[in-house]
């Protein structure tokens, strides 16, 4: 890995895209991310996808130096993928690091508006929010809407978070905030890392701003959030409260 020129590093953003079995989606997602802003690069953190996701990304890298790949030997979890991406970005000198879903649910066109909040000094953490004024959710079943509402209410109540969308994985962190956070103390490995990161960011004194997004449920592939992940999420939130 080559570090960025220090004079340009602070202005650049790295988007972390965790993947498992996302070959059908990853090409379009990477293109959308890179088209969003010339300031943006991306790193795909692939967990040994048997569908060849990493092979496709590796082929794309040959033609675009803004694409990086961390290929891991097995399914190590969303949470550890985030941490791997953060470490990569911080080591390379990026001034901001974002996380997004690789399935196309998050609209990369919102990235410039999120970066503007960091640039203006109004935020250390910007959340792409489905539930901020102007945010929308498309193609969600009634059950998923209920699950999301309950999860957000639980996180706000138990963790004391004044955030409308506590479960959004579309986030933009300043590098300075990530360095203040106790990343080495985080315990989650899977989806439960989402509330744990938010809790730790709040504990580190983050100024948090929400930018509305239109969330579109994936059109291809299957969701990786299992019942076990949901139960782990609930246990994590309860443990953080204590």
DSSP code string of 86-111: HHHHHHHT-SEEEE--TTS-S-GGGH
Q: How many CB atoms lie within 10 A of CB 161?
A: 17
Q: What average pLDDT does range 208-218 have in this prediction?
A: 91
How many domains does the chain fold into?
1
Residue 147 belongs to a domain = yes
Domain that holds residue 36: 11-241
**CA atoms of 88 and 3, how far apart (whole Å):** 10
230 pLDDT exceeds 70?
no
Q: What is the pTM of this model?
A: 0.89
Residue 3 confidence (pLDDT): 57
Could you tell me if residue 5 is inside a domain?
no
pLDDT confidence of residue 1: 47
Q: What is the CATH number of the domain that holds 198?
A: 3.90.550.10
- The answer to whether residue 64 sits within a structural domain is yes
* Within a domain: 175: yes
Residues 47-58 have a mean pLDDT of 98
**Residue 31 belongs to a domain:** yes
In a domain, 94, yes or no: yes
Q: Is residue 60 part of a domain?
A: yes
């Amino acid at each position: 890995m080559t570090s960025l020129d220090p004079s340009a590093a602070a202005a650049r953003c790295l988007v972390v895209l965790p993947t498992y079995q996302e070959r059908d989606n990853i090409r379009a997602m990477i293109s959308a991310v890179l088209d969003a802003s010339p300031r943006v690069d991306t790193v795909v953190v692939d967990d040994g996808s048997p569908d060849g996701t990493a092979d496709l990304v590796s082929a794309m890298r040959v033609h675009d130096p803004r694409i990086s790949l961390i290929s891991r030997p097995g399914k190590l979890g969303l949470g550890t993928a985030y941490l791997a991406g953060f470490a990569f970005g911080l080591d390379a000198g990026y001034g901001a690091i974002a996380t997004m879903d690789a399935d196309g649910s998050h609209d990369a066109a919102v990235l410039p508006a999120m970066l503007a909040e960091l640039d203006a000094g109004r935020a250390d953490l910007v959340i792409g929010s489905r539930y901020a004024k102007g945010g929308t959710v498309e193609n969600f079943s009634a059950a998923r809407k209920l699950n999301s509402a309950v999860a957000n209410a639980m996180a706000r109540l138990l963790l004391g978070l004044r955030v409308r969308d506590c479960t959004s994985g579309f986030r933009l962190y300043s590098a300075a905030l990530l360095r203040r956070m106790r990343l080495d103390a985080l315990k989650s490995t899977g989806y439960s890392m989402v509330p744990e990161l938010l809790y730790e960011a709040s504990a580190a004194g983050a100024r948090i701003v929400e930018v509305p997004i239109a969330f579109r449920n994936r059109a291809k592939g299957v969701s990786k959030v299992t019942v076990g992940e949901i139960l782990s999420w609930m246990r994590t939130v309860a443990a953080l409260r204590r």
